[in-house]
Each structure stands twice: as structure tokens, then as C-alpha cells.
């Protein structure tokens, strides 16, 4: 960097760090955090969802079998009290969280108030914009897979389709494809009775407000042998107003709300007025339309003819707006940066004429 001066930079571990993870991906989300956090030299504490804790025990078994020293990876189970303890403990230097936006904001505020680094991912209301020139078959299948995969219980579920102008042939095929979706084969159950009641409440409310129910999953027949599960079938609502709860709230279930609009400009307005900013997608065969949406959408992850636009490493995962509290993303290069501190070393060594220092 100058005559006789060198500057080097290293990434140093923070010490003890923690992750708080949700029920819906009990192995994948912890594995966004654990490998990066411990590889860069930290000890890691995981607080899994109290609804799905078993996967993390398996992760612990595999890490021990691989030779990870005791104490490098740790699990604490519990609910609110444990989360608060993690946020407050002075020896925990960083906290990563994935869950609802309401709790993400609380965890972020409490952790940072205690001097911790925090990155907290919240909810989503991802929009898929469908235009008339979209490929009918792949778009219909993409809309269905994105909205109904994991029974809609994922932050990357695109739960709103913004139909621009006349896209009825695509919607018609979507409905036909959806009729063939089988519970227990194409889609699992809702995680709990409380969640099922909350989701069906949104459907009931939308119906009362005037939504047309193209497919109603409230009375779906459970698969044989699993009658006691919390089942809800594919549900598609048409004619939804952008301001209705079914269009604005994260339902977190197999419910797709279709909003009708005449222009691409209005479609973008609907998308960008949404409080979240996790992901957005457009289905089109026009490069110009794709470019317009990808440049204008207020979201951290954009799909072009892809309904679940999850980036793969080295690209990082993360949204904007009310979908994320904190700086950076949780995977890829951003993940390494989150779990480390930068150390910069600037050095200058005066030349020596002492004979004993000469080695060549």
C-alpha cells in the first residue's frame, strides 16, 4: 500500500454465537448458520422451534460423529424464556433468527440493545406478476408449485398472483392443475390446530368480503391413516382486493390470492406497497418486462419465470423491508461476514544491514 508498507486483513471469530430457527425447515435453516459459524471458529448455540426439535438432535449426532469437539455445537430447547435468555446473555456475541416479522423485530431490538450483532429474518408476502405473454403451461405449474409447496408454510411461498390484463387461460390451467393436488402426496399437513384455524379464518374472511373461491380446501379428504392431521387442501381466491387481509398478511398456508389489474404499472404499485420485501417474481416471455420488474420490485430476491427464487451459493439469501432486520444476508459471503470480525494489520519493517539476518 506504500513504499515498504504492507496491509493484510483477516476474518476473526466472534466467540459464542447463537441461532434461533423456525418449525418449517428444522434442518435446512439451522444449516444456513451452523457450518459457516463454526468453520470460521465460533462456538454455536442453536435454539430450534419447540414444535420441531428432533432434526437438530440428528444434526448434533452427525457433528459429533464427524469429530467436532464437545462444546462447539450446543442445543437449548424451550420457548420465549430461552429466546430472551439468548438475547440477554452477555457472552453471546451474535444472534441470527428466522421466524415471523413480529418476533424478528423483537429479537433484533433486544439483542442489539444488549450490544450484540443481530440478523433477523421475518415474514413475507411474495407476489408473482403474471402477464398475458407468459408461457401458459410453465406459468400455471410455477404458480401452483410456488404457492402450495410445503403447504404454503415457507417464507418463499408466493401467496399472491397479480394477474395483469387477460390471463384467464393461465388461471384456468392453474385451477385444473390444482384439482389434481393430493394431500399426503403433493402436500403435507398444517403444523398445528392453532395454525389451521388461523389460516381458515383468512379464507372465511375473504369469502365474506367478496372473493370468489376457485378451489376450496377447507373440506379436503385426509389421506387414509392420517385422518387426525391438520389438513387443508389447495385454496385459490380470485378477485381479491389489494387491501384485504388475505392480500396483505402472511397467511402461511396453502392459500393463493389472485389480484386483478389492467396494467404493469398498477401491478408494480401493488407489489411495492406491500410491507414485506422477501421475494417477487414475474412470468413473461418479454425481456423488457422482466427487466422492468427486476429493477423496480422492492424485494431482495427476484424470480424471472421462477416462482421460488432462492439464490444458491455463493449468492446469499435475504429479503428487504419488514422481511429483514439487520444488515447483510445469512448465507454466502454475507454469512461469513456476519459471523466474523475483520482485523486489519498494517506493517513496515526497516531494512537491516546486520550480517546475521542475511539468509540469501
Domain boundaries, position 74:
5-122+323-345
Please indicate, yes or no, whether residues 113 and 156 belong to a single structural domain of this protein.
no
Contacts with 35 (C-beta within 8 Å, 6 or more apart), sequence order: none
Residue pair 162/127 in contact by the 8 Å Cβ criterion = yes
Q: Residue 102 maps to which CATH number? A: 3.40.605.10
Please indicate, yes or no, whether residues 159 and 282 belong to a single structural domain of this protein.
yes
pLDDT, position 313 = 82
CA–CA gap between residue 37 and residue 68 (Å, rounded): 13
Please indicate, yes or no, whether residues 107 and 184 belong to a single structural domain of this protein.
no
C-alpha cell of residue 86: 439468548
Please indicate, yes or no, whether residues 93 and 131 belong to a single structural domain of this protein.
no
- Dump pLDDT digits (tens) for 245-262: 999 999 999 999 999 999
C-alpha torsion 44→49→55→56, nearest 10: 20
Res. 182: pLDDT tops 80: yes
Phi, psi values for residue 77, rounded to 5°: -105, 155
Residue pair 280/299 in contact by the 8 Å Cβ criterion = yes
Residue pair 56/78 in contact by the 8 Å Cβ criterion = no
Please indicate, yes or no, whether residues 110 and 132 belong to a single structural domain of this protein.
no
Please indicate, yes or no, whether residues 15 and 90 belong to a single structural domain of this protein.
yes
* Comparison of pLDDT for 22 and 4, the residue scoring more: 22
Please indicate, yes or no, whether residues 266 and 340 belong to a single structural domain of this protein.
no
- Residue 87 bears catalytic tag: no
pLDDT, position 357 = 74
C-alpha cell of residue 177: 392443475
Does a structural domain hold residue 261?
yes
Q: Residue 225 maps to which CATH number? A: 3.40.309.10
pLDDT, position 353 = 78
Does a structural domain hold residue 208?
yes
pLDDT band at 2 (very low <50, low <70, confident <90, very high): confident
Rounded to two decimals, the pTM is 0.92
Res. 78: pLDDT tops 60: yes
- Dump pLDDT digits (tens) for 104-133: 999 999 999 999 999 999 999 999 999 999
pLDDT, position 153 = 96
Please indicate, yes or no, whether residues 222 and 235 belong to a single structural domain of this protein.
yes
Contacts with 215 (C-beta within 8 Å, 6 or more apart), sequence order: 175, 178, 179, 233, 234, 235, 236
Query: Euclidean distance between the first and final Cα of the chain, in Å?
Result: 25
Q: How many independent structural domains does the chain possess?
A: 2
Amino acid at each position: 500500500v506504500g513504499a515498504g508498507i504492507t496491509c493484510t486483513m483477516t476474518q476473526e471469530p466472534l466467540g459464542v454465537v447463537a441461532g434461533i430457527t423456525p418449525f418449517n425447515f428444522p434442518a435446512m435453516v439451522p444449516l444456513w448458520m451452523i457450518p459457516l459459524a463454526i468453520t470460521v471458529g465460533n462456538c454455536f448455540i442453536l435454539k430450534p422451534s419447540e414444535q420441531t426439535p428432533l432434526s437438530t438432535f440428528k444434526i448434533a449426532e452427525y457433528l459429533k460423529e464427524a469429530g467436532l469437539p464437545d462444546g462447539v455445537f450446543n442445543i437449548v430447547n424451550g420457548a420465549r424464556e430461552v429466546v430472551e435468555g439468548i438475547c440477554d446473555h452477555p457472552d453471546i456475541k451474535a444472534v441470527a433468527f428466522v421466524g415471523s416479522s413480529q418476533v424478528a423485530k423483537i429479537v433484533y431490538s433486544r439483542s442489539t440493545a444488549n450490544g450484540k450483532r443481530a440478523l433477523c429474518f421475518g415474514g413475507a408476502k411474495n407476489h408473482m406478476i403474471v402477464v398475458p405473454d407468459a408461457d401458459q403451461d410453465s406459468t400455471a405449474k410455477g404458480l401452483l408449485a410456488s404457492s402450495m409447496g410445503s403447504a404454503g408454510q415457507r417464507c418463499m411461498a408466493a401467496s399472491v398472483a397479480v394477474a395483469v390484463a387477460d390471463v384467464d387461460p393461465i388461471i384456468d390451467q392453474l385451477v385444473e392443475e390444482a384439482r389434481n393436488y393430493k394431500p399426503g402426496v403433493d402436500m403435507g399437513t398444517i403444523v398445528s390446530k392453532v395454525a389451521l384455524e388461523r389460516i381458515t379464518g383468512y379464507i372465511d374472511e375473504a369469502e365474506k368480503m367478496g372473493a370468489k373461491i376457485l378451489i376450496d380446501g377447507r373440506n379436503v379428504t385426509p389421506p387414509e391413516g392420517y385422518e387426525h392431521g391438520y389438513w387443508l387442501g389447495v385454496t385459490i381466491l380470485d378477485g381479491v382486493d389489494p387491501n384485504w387481509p388475505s392480500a396483505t398478511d402472511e397467511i402461511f398456508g396453502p392459500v393463493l390470492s389472485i389480484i386483478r389489474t389492467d396494467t404493469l404499472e398498477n401491478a408494480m404499485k401493488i407489489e411495492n406497497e406491500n410491507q414485506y420485501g422477501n421475494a417477487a417474481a414475474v412470468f413473461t416471455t418479454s425481456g423488457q418486462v422482466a427487466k422492468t420488474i427486476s429493477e423496480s420490485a422492492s424485494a431482495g430476491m427476484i424470480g424471472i419465470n421462477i416462482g421460488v427464487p432462492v439464490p444458491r451459493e455463493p449468492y446469499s439469501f435475504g429479503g428487504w423491508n419488514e422481511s429483514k432486520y439487520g444488515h447483510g444476508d445469512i448465507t454466502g459471503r454475507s454469512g461469513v461476514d456476519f459471523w466474523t470480525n475483520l482485523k486489519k494489520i498494517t506493517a513496515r519493517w526497516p531494512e537491516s544491514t546486520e550480517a546475521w539476518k542475511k539468509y540469501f
